[in-house]
A and B are shown apart, each in its own frame.
Chain A
Amino acid sequence: MEENTKPMTAPETEEEYFINMGPQHPSTHGVLRLLVSLQGEIVKRLDPHLGYIHRGIEKMCEKDTYIQIIHLTDRMDYLSAHMNNEAVCLLVEDALEIEVPERVKYIRTIMAELQRLNSHQLWWATMGMDLGALTTFFYGLRDREKILDIFEETCGGRLLLSYNTPGGVMYDIHPNFQKRVKEFIKYFKERLPEYDQLLTGNVIFQERTKGIGRLTREEAVNYGVTGPSGRGSGFSCDIRKKFPYSAYPYVDFKEILGVDGDALSRYKVRMEEMWESMHIIEQLIDNIPEGPYTAKMKAVLKLPAGEYFQRVETARGELGVYVISDGNKTPYRMKFRSPNMCNLSALDHISRGAKIADLVAIGASFDFVIPDIDR
């Protein structure tokens, strides 16, 4: 088995040289500053410096009601906006012991899977672009626009949705929704093999990602790396299977695990997840039950005193929402367990001994969204 800490070929007497990658950088996916210590072109150590988009969301949550907090959670990991909203809504509904109608569960799950597809399309687009293949940027974003049209018709927004609300959803789905989703799935099933032809089998892409950034399963558990990045190393961490919520108990889907733990295996896990998302949507789209689109809720929501924790599976990993409540209408302390921060903590360890160009490939395969780290 190949170690990724290749032996240093440069002489030991060469001094270390620090460079800054970021905060303004075309391929760090946000404002991340990495202080990289180099010896020649080999990375010896890596230190992430964060805080360039720290907006104090956790402090703001202590003065906002739960319905207002939903609009802030949109802006944390904006490519899984729907799942972030869903986490807070599920927490409030669990704490107040409210039963949502079946229609709501189906709508939430379909929207969540569309959001996951959307996020993976953008990831594929920017991963290709970071490694130099600009065509993937145009292909990925062209197909993503079709999902954004569906979102816009029903939810009113393209990127930041705020469609979920405690007790249900804000408005009922548009009459065209089912037809457009089915058309989109038929269209995308022909496109996804094109993506494979373009990038997965490409010799240059494989040379740049095979064996790069190897993360073993024990390390993934130790660092808390979840989501497709953790599953690429064989860590079975899918919250949709472990603690099912919304309509996931009613559908049948596979949890995709990789074996090698390198960048190529994380890539393959995400590509397979796109197929599984479409499979989940197909099982649900024709069977949406009739009924109300929201349960009856009071105007002012006060959670009883105590602690509550809700875990959901976003496109990048496990999001945890932890609330300590003292009975008022605003939480006493609200903490978001951010998946990207735990994924970032493993970056130092796995990029020792890699070259700078490999660092870009590793960062792209992890799929960071920096505002989620800084909150």
Chain B
Amino acid sequence: MDNTNIKEFVARHIPEATFEENKQFLSATVEPSKLHGLLKALKENPETLFDYLFCITGADVQGKLMVIYHLESTTLKHQVVVKTGTPDRENPVFDSITDLFSGAELHENEIFDLFGIIFKGHPNLRRMFMPDDWKGYPLRKDYTDEVNIVELS
């Protein structure tokens, strides 16, 4: 399927999705509550069959905490990017996708550790890289740490 067909497929499932296209990928932005349903449809539908999640990223873009999924199909050889975000920085909650893609378990732990995003339905959400009693989420843009970080002026 090429990008226009994938766009139509996503728009049929989620009419309020917004799209961007650059020379590499088509990306669709959806609300957090619709994310799990869309990824399930993209994985299981025989026209799309996106079974390989090759990158899952957390980002803090202009005040919104976002999670970005890069998907590829090993049989039909097309790629798509799905993004979701929330402006709520106190209690950002997204659905976990470990039931669809088991490899996302460690990655969602990493995103929770570095950004503070909570994944509902994750079997074992815990801090992965930082020590267990660390305060704060280091990769957020408003993270300051006078003791540990030495700035290069």
Task: Using CB atoms and an 8 Å cutoff, list the residues of chain A in contact with chain B.
Answer: 47-51, 54, 56, 58-59, 63, 219, 221-225, 235-237, 306-309, 311, 318, 320, 322, 324, 332-333, 335, 337, 341-342, 344-346, 349, 374
Contacts and interface: CB of A to CB of B under 8 A. Distances in A.
B54 A337 contact: yes
A349 B55 CA distance: 20
B101 A222 contact: yes
Given A51-B130, A237-B74, A345-B102, 15 more contacts: A50-B129, A59-B138, A59-B139, A221-B74, A224-B54, A224-B103, A235-B74, A307-B27, A309-B70, A322-B68, A333-B57, A341-B106, A345-B105, A346-B103, A349-B102
A329 to B, nearest CB: 14
A306 B52 CA distance: 24
Contacts of A335: 55, 57, 59
B54 A320 contact: yes
8 contacts: A48-B106, A59-B138, A219-B102, A223-B102, A224-B54, A309-B24, A311-B54, A333-B60
A222 B74 contact: no
Binding site of A, secondary structure by majority: helix, strand, loop or mixed? mixed
A237 B52 CA distance: 11
A54 B127 CA distance: 12
A341 B53 CA distance: 13
Contact of B55 (A51, A322, A346): A322
Contacts of A309: 24-25, 55, 70
Nearest to B105: A345
Interface in B112-139: 124, 127-131, 138-139
B95 interface: no
A56 to B, nearest CB: 7
Given A59-B139, A222-B102, A341-B106, A318 B54 contact: yes
Contact of B130 (A54, A221, A307, A320): A54
Interface string B57-95: 101110000001010001000000000000000000000
B147 interface: no
Interface string B8-26: 0000000000000010110
Contacts of B52: 221, 224
Interface centre among B105, B128, B131 (most CB of A within 10 A): B128
Contacts of B59: 324, 333, 335
Most buried by B among A306, A307, A341, A374: A307
Given A307-B22, A345-B103, A221 B51 contact: yes
Contacts of B124: 47
Nearest to B57: A335
A341 B24 contact: no
Given A51-B129, A224-B103, A333-B59, A308 B24 contact: yes
